[in-house]
């Protein structure tokens, strides 16, 4: 119930967002009509459209973004027509004649002039259009709901939370409609201003449509800081503890930006050995969309084998640093009856492409079975929440142990040895593995890391962004790097298009600057959209990194983006300290997703 209350309150607060301003004229244009026959259908249409589009956006992946954009264009066109009919009754007459037989009206202006019975479908249709335009003004609370739905799939609970959010927004608008209706009635009764009010509403509608078409609803207006809903919503989220603090270094790094429910676990402190219990049965693996290095495997076919299930994704630094151990265990205990299964659950859109996963599996030297879990079906079967996450299954198909995050390799290997012994396997090695990873697979440093994972797309909030003017969402804009940055602040310079999960460089010589406190700096990058490599140059405190260069750059900081993956750019030889990182891209088209540290 608490989540439903928070979702409802988040929707109520949405009306305070500046990017809602262009939508309000559509509501007030109907303020002079009876609330029951006109206001309620409009609000119902808006709530249904909002929840429907948001649900699709949550579970549909990248394709639904394009679908939502086309729906946005259609809504803009629809509401522009509505504004024109308010301004010009004669146009309304002509436009509505073909729809009389269907019982639909696009404007109340004609209804008022003709005295015809109004149809519920007219305000309902306009409510749908309003809902399509309302969705981009979502804040942290809606982000929590959407990312949870994206992770856990379509469900009644997710849709009800989205409806609660929409109901909150409609509550605020209902109050505005009722108040606006009384105000308009008083003005029309005393000043006979009905015609001018109708035309003024039409002009306001067209001005709002123009603002939305130009991107002002999600760009300039969304950047106005005073009174914005995001701060109020974020305070509410923080107040009830839905967004947790994000410790860094070797503690758990929790991915909850904008409400994400998936978590990346880092190293945990050693725990004393304990007797292995039974945590459940090995869930079905049939939800995997593709298998690499193996035909499809099933829980039934794996009976009699000890199974290690590893949830990972190939751009996750914590996952990559566990791979040297997982690869060695797979080879070391293969003849003793161990089967290692890597379940690849993607975070970014490019990680959903099977060709990219196959390339990563090959480049990373993984020869054990990998299940591509693009729909998170296997993830949900385990009720998993972490990258990386390990589940240890005995020969009877029972989960006997789990390990979230890096570290505890000795304890994990002892569990494997114990389960193999329980299965009656002979010749199980008793030694412990100690592989040495290279590049992004190298072990993290021992000193505390004070800079947390930093996403560059606006969908995750762009926390710490310091370029003047803030983020301009989903269209190219020129950014400037400030004269100084505080620790954990970052900035763009040059012309960039900041999309939901990434920032894309429009022209060459763009830069990203970040002041960090860590030993290592990693950045998830991709080449230009047409696949052309992008050259880049890294600087530390304005100088080439020299001995502090990462695996993917040379001592002068020169490197090339040749694929969509995680790049190690800095690995300091002198340990952890506070420094200014800058990366300059010498070619256009670079795609930058997220910083991670070590």
In the chain, count of helices (H) and strands (E)? 15, 20
Tell me the C-alpha to C-alpha distance, in Å, between residue 276 and each of 187, 330, 389, 492.
76, 21, 17, 50
Structure tokens at 42: 């409009």
Residue/partner pairs of 572-577 with CB below 8 Å, 24 or more apart: 572/519, 572/520, 572/548, 573/547, 573/548, 574/548, 575/445, 575/447, 575/519, 576/445, 576/447, 576/448, 576/449, 576/517, 576/518, 576/519, 577/517
Token pair recorded at residue 49: 């459209």
Rounded to an integer, what distance in angstroms lies between the CA atom of residue 288 and that of residue 567?
A: 27
Distance from C-alpha of 461 to C-alpha of 184, rounded to nearest angstrom: 39
Consecutive 10-residue averages of pLDDT for the chain (598 residues):
69 59 56 65 72 56 41 58 62 52 40 46 67 53 53 56 74 67 48 53 64 49 39 48 36 35 48 70 93 94 95 94 95 94 94 94 95 94 92 95 91 94 87 89 83 91 89 94 94 96 95 94 94 96 95 96 95 87 96 93
In three-state secondary structure terms, 402 is strand
CA 522 to chain centre: 19
Beta carbons within 8 Å of 210's beta carbon, 6+ residues apart: none
- CATH number attached to the domain at 454-597: 2.60.120.260
CB atoms within 10 A of CB 270: 10
Domain ranges of the chain: 2-235, 280-441, 454-597
Topology of the domain comprising 280-441:
Glutaredoxin (3.40.30)
Burial of 183 (0-12, 13-18, 19+ CB in 10 A): middle
**Amino acid 521: pLDDT:** 95
The H-assigned helical ranges of 60-117 are 62-87, 89-96, 108-114
- As a whole number of Å, the end-to-end CA separation of the chain is 39
Question: What does the CA dihedral 167, 170, 172, 174 come to, rounded to 10 degrees?
Answer: -130
Instruction: Count CB-CB contacts under 10 A for residue 231.
Output: 15
The span from the CA of 418 to the CA of 425, in Å, is 10
Burial class (CB in 10 A: 0-12, 13-18, 19+), 176: middle
User: Pairing relation of β-strands 370-372 and 386-387?
Assistant: unpaired
401 has which bridge partners? 392
On the question of a common fold for 280-441 and 454-597, the answer reads no
Report yes or no: 372 and 354 within 8 Å, Cβ to Cβ.
Answer: yes
Cβ neighbourhood burial of 38 (10 Å; 0-12, 13-18, 19+) = buried
| pLDDT, position 542 | 95
Length of the chain: 598
Contact criterion met (CB below 8 Å) for 471 and 558: no
pTM for the whole thing?
0.59
Residue indicated by tokens 């990386």: 388
| Among candidate residues 519, 514, 536, 522, the one with its CA nearest the CA of residue 569 | 522
CB 424, CB 336: distance < 8 Å? no
Contacts of 63 (CB under 8 A, 6+ apart): none
Check residue 260 and give its pLDDT. Answer: 37
User: DSSP characters for 344-400?
Assistant: E--SSGGGG-HHHHHHHHHHTT--S-EEE-TT-HHHHHTT--EESEEEEE-TTSEEE
CA–CA gap between residue 209 and residue 594 (Å, rounded): 34
> Please, which residues have CB within 8 angstroms of residue 445's CB and are 6 or more apart in sequence?
518, 519, 520, 575, 576, 598
Report the chain's C-alpha Rg in angstroms.
28
Tell me how far apart the alpha carbons of residues 419 and 395 are, in angstroms, rounded to a whole number.
8
């Amino acid at each position: 119930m608490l989540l439903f209350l928070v979702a409802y309150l988040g929707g109520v607060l949405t009306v305070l967002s500046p990017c809602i301003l262009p939508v309000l004229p559509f509501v007030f244009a109907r303020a002079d009509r009876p609330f029951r026959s006109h206001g309620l259908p409009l609000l119902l249409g808006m709530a249904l459209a909002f929840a429907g589009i948001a649900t699709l956006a949550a579970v549909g992946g990248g394709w639904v973004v394009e679908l939502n954009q086309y729906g946005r264009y259609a809504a803009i066109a629809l509401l522009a027509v509505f504004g024109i009919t308010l301004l010009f009754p004669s146009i309304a007459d002509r436009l509505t004649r073909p729809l009389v037989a269907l019982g639909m009206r696009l404007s109340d202006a004609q209804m008022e002039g003709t005295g015809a019975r109004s149809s519920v479908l007219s305000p309902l249709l306009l409510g749908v259009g309003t809902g399509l335009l309302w969705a981009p003004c979502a804040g942290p609370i809606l982000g929590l709901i959407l990312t949870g739905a994206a992770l856990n799939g379509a469900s009644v609970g997710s849709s009800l939370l989205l409806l609660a959010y929409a109901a909150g927004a409609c509550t605020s608008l209902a109050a505005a409609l009722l108040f606006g209706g009384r105000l308009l009635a008083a003005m029309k009764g005393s000043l006979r201003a009905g015609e001018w009010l109708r035309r003024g509403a039409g002009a306001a509608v067209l001005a709002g449509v123009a603002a939305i078409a130009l991107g002002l609803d999600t760009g300039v207006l969304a950047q106005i800081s005073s009174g914005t809903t995001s701060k109020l919503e974020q305070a509410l989220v923080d107040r009830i503890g839905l967004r947790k603090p994000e410790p860094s270094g070797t503690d758990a790094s929790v991915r909850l930006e904008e409400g994400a429910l998936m978590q990346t676990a880092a190293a945990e402190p050693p725990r004393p050995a304990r007797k292995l219990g039974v945590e459940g049965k090995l869930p079905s693996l049939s939800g995997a969309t593709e298998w690499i290095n193996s035909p499809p495997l099933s829980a039934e076919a794996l009976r009699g084998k000890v199974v290690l299930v590893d949830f990972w994704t190939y751009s996750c630094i914590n996952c990559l640093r566990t791979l040297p151990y997982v690869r060695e265990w797979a080879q070391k205990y293969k003849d003793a009856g161990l089967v290692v299964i890597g379940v690849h659950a993607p975070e970014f859109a490019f990680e959903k492409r099977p060709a990219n996963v196959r390339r990563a599996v090959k480049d990373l030297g993984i020869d054990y079975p990998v299940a591509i879990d693009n729909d998170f079906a296997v993830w949900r079967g385990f009720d998993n929440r972490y990258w990386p996450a390990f589940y240890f299954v005995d020969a009877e198909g029972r989960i006997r142990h789990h390990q979230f995050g890096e570290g505890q390799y000795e304890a994990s290997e002892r569990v494997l040895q114990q389960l193999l012994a329980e299965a009656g396997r002979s010749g199980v090695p008793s030694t412990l593995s100690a592989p040495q990873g290279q590049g992004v697979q190298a072990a993290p440093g021992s000193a505390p890391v004070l800079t947390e994972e930093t996403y560059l797309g606006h969908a995750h909030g762009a926390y710490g962004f310091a370029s003047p003017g803030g983020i301009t969402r989903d269209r190219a804009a020129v950014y400037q790097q400030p004269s100084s940055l505080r620790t954990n602040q970052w900035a763009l310079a040059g012309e960039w298009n900041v999309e939901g999960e990434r920032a894309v460089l429009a022209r060459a010589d763009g830069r990203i600057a970040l002041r960090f406190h860590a030993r290592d700096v990693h950045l998830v990058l991709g080449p230009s959209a047409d696949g052309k490599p992008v050259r880049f140059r890294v600087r530390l405190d304005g100088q080439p990194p020299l001995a502090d260069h990462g695996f993917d750059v040379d001592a002068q900081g020169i490197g090339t983006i040749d694929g969509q993956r995680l790049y190690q750019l800095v690995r300091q030889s002198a340990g952890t300290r506070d420094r200014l990182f800058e990366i300059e891209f010498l070619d256009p088209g670079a795609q930058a997703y997220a910083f991670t540290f070590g």
